[in-house]
Amino acid sequence: MVTELFIIVAYDIASDKRRQKVAKILENYGERVNYSVFECMLHRTKAETMKQELYKTIKEGKDTILLYYLCKHCVNQRSFLKGKTENSDVVKML
């Protein structure tokens, strides 16, 4: 049985050029949900390929990429907060 992994990827990359490369790689694997955060639903082998591509792109001591693996239960417990806009005094949570 092949199980997909839900992975949240957050990054802090010092160089604009490397940051763009990291974002481009992650666009092939998941969905951007924040400026430097992606959500990815991947099979284990594809997740390993993604990690290898990212590792080749970053510089040791300058860049950081965090990968959080969430179980199915945890994914279903996530929430989304949206701040106030000019037209709304309500904070929305999904």
Domain hosting 29: range is 4-83
Checking DSSP bridges between strand 64-70 and strand 81-82, what pairing results, if any? unpaired
User: In terms of pLDDT, which residue wins out, 31 or 83?
Assistant: 31
* Res. 80: pLDDT tops 70: yes
What's the mean pLDDT in 61-78?
90
Q: Write the CATH number for 17.
A: 3.30.70.240
What's the mean pLDDT in 69-91?
75
User: In terms of pLDDT, which residue wins out, 3 or 85?
Assistant: 3
Residue 64 lies in a domain: yes
Do 32 and 38 touch, CB atoms closer than 8 A? yes
Which CA distances in Å does 3 have to 71, 83, 88?
A: 11, 35, 41
pTM value is: 0.82
Distance, CA of 37 to CA of 18 (rounded, Å): 15
Domain count, the chain: 1
Residue 92 lies in a domain: no
Residue 61 zone, left/alpha/beta (φ > 0; ψ -120 to 50; rest)? left
Residue 46 lies in a domain: yes
User: In terms of pLDDT, which residue wins out, 7 or 77?
Assistant: 7
